[in-house]
């Protein structure tokens, strides 16, 4: 059972995050697209924290977050975003969507891990 889902369309980056979290004792599920993330949320009600890239080819990460909130209003989901293109408009949209933390890429794994551990501890 994993309460963490990581969503990123860059396979190498996704693998690095999964390895780093596993090394630190956190098991996570992963999705390489927003559509796959929504399918995992549907199939795995134990997921509580979602870390997502904002810009992905199939669906914007913020649209995916809004969709997840609409589909699962009773679930206590926490969202964290990361982006290599931290435009002010994207960060404003993320805050408006209720995203807890926004991390620019390249990101500090320690900062991300701290945010995830904090969110999981609250669940």
User: What is the per-residue pLDDT for 123?
Assistant: 65
Contact present, 10 and 22 (Cβ < 8 Å): no
Within 10 Å of residue 91's Cβ, how many Cβ atoms?
Answer: 16
pTM over 0.85: yes
pLDDT of the chain along its 123 residues, tens only? Answer: 579 999 999 999 999 999 999 998 888 999 999 999 999 999 999 999 999 999 898 899 999 999 999 999 999 899 999 988 767 888 888 888 889 999 888 889 999 999 998 888 886
As beta bridge partners, residue 5 has 29, 50
Query: For residue 80, which of 3, 1, 7 has the smallest C-alpha distance?
Result: 7
* Architecture in CATH of 4-122: 3-Layer(aba) Sandwich (3.40)
pLDDT at residue 84, as a whole number: 81
């Amino acid at each position: 059972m994993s309460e963490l889902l990581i969503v990123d369309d860059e396979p190498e980056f996704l693998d690095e995050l999964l390895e780093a979290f596993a090394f630190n004792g956190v098991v996570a599920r992963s999705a390489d697209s927003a559509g796959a993330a929504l399918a995992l949320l549907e199939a795995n009600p134990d997921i509580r924290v979602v870390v997502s890239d904002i810009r992905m080819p199939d669906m914007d990460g913020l649209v995916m977050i809004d969709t997840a909130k609409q589909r699962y209003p009773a679930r206590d989901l926490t969202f964290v975003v990361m982006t290599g293109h931290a435009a002010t408009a994207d960060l404003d949209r993320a805050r408006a969507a209720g995203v807890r933390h926004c991390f620019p890429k390249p990101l500090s794994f320690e900062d991300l891990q701290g945010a995830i551990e904090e969110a999981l501890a609250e669940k």
